[in-house]
Amino acid sequence: MEKFFQYVISGLSTGSVYALVALGIVIIYRSTRILNFAHGDMATAGTFFAFTLLGMNIVPALSFPLALLFGAALAMLFYFFILIPAQRRSVTGLGQIILTVGLSLILQGAIAYLCGTDTKSLDFPLSDSKLWNFRGVVISELNLGTLVISLVAAILLYLLVQKTRLGLAMRATSENLPAAQTLGIPTRMVLSLSWGLAAAFSVLAGLFLAPALLLDPFFMLEPFLKGFAAAVLGGLQSLPGAIVGALILGVAESLAGGYITIAFKNTLAFLIIIVVLLFRPEGLLGKEFKERV
C-alpha cells in the first residue's frame, strides 16, 4: 500500500505541473477560441530569462517574478502586434492558430541561437535530492514545493476570476465578446491580460520543471503536450477541468510506470483520454459549446 501511495504522490506532483500548463491553455481558449501552440516555448523563453538573471547573480526572489513578467509581456506583445492586426484583416481562426505555430518556431530558433543547444542546470531554491518521509511515503522538497505552489496558484486564479472586476470582465468577454464591447468593457486589454496570465502560468511550470529536466530550447515540448492533453481531457472551456484532467493524467502515468513499465506510461495516459472523449467529447467537466449566430 505504501508503494501505491508513493506512486500517487509522485503522480500528483507531476500532474500539478501539467495543471499549470493546462490552465494557461484553457485561459486562452476560453477567451479567444485559439489553441496557442507557442505556449510551451513561451515557458521556455521565460525560464531561460530566469536562468540569465541568475547568471547575473540576481537572487531567485527577484529573478523568478521577473521571468513571469517577461513571459507575460511576450504573450501580450504577440497578441497586440500579431493577432489583433490579423483579426482586423479577417484572418480565420485556423490562420491565427498557424500564427502561434510560427511564433513557436521563432522562439525555438531564437533561444537556440542566443543560449545554445547544450543542456543547462537551473539553480533552484528547492532541492530534488532533499527528501521528506511521511509514514513511509517519500517526497522530495522540490515535489512538495511544486504541489504547494501549484495549489496556491490555482486558488489565486479562482479568486481572480470569481471575485474581482477583472475576473468578471474576463468571464463576460469569453462568454459574449460583442455584448462585452457594447457594455464598454475594454475587451482588447482584457484579452491581452488573459494571454499574459496564461503565459505566466506556463513559465511557472517551466521554473519547477527545469531543475529536474535540465534546460534546453525544447525542454517544455513534452510538458506542453501533456498539458494540452490534460486540458482536452478535462474540457477546453473548464478551468477546474484542466486541473482534474492534469491530476488524472499525472497519477495515471505514475501508476503505469510503477506497475507496468516506464515505456507504457505515456501510452496508458493517452488511452484514458481516448476512452473518455469517446463518451464525453467535451471533456470530463466541459460543456458543449453553443455559439449564437
Q: What percent of the chain has pLDDT over 90?
A: 62
Maximum CA extent, the chain: 61
DSSP letter string over 58-124? --HHHHHHHHHHHHHHHHHHHIIIIIHHHHHTT--HHHHHHHHHHHHHHHHHHHHHHH-SS-B----
Query: Distance (Å, rounded) from C-alpha 257 to C-alpha 85?
Result: 46
Cβ burial 189-215 (10 Å sphere, 16+ → b, else e): ebbbbbbbbbbbbbbbbbbbbbbbeeb
Domain positions in the chain are: 2-219
User: What's the pLDDT band for 293 if we cut at 50, 70, 90?
Assistant: very low
User: What's the pLDDT band for 149 if we cut at 50, 70, 90?
Assistant: very high
Looking at the chain, how many residues does it have? 293
Position 259 scores a pLDDT of 82
Position 129 scores a pLDDT of 80
Write out the E strands in the chain.
131-134, 137-140
Render pLDDT for 157-171 as a digit per residue (tens, 0 to 9).
999 999 999 999 999
pLDDT (mean) for 54-81: 95
User: What's the pLDDT band for 290 if we cut at 50, 70, 90?
Assistant: low
Predicted confidence (pLDDT) at residue 127 exceeds the cutoff of 90: no
Position 289 scores a pLDDT of 53
Residue-averaged pLDDT of the chain: 90
Query: Distance (Å, rounded) from C-alpha 161 to C-alpha 73?
Result: 20
User: Structure pTM?
Assistant: 0.93
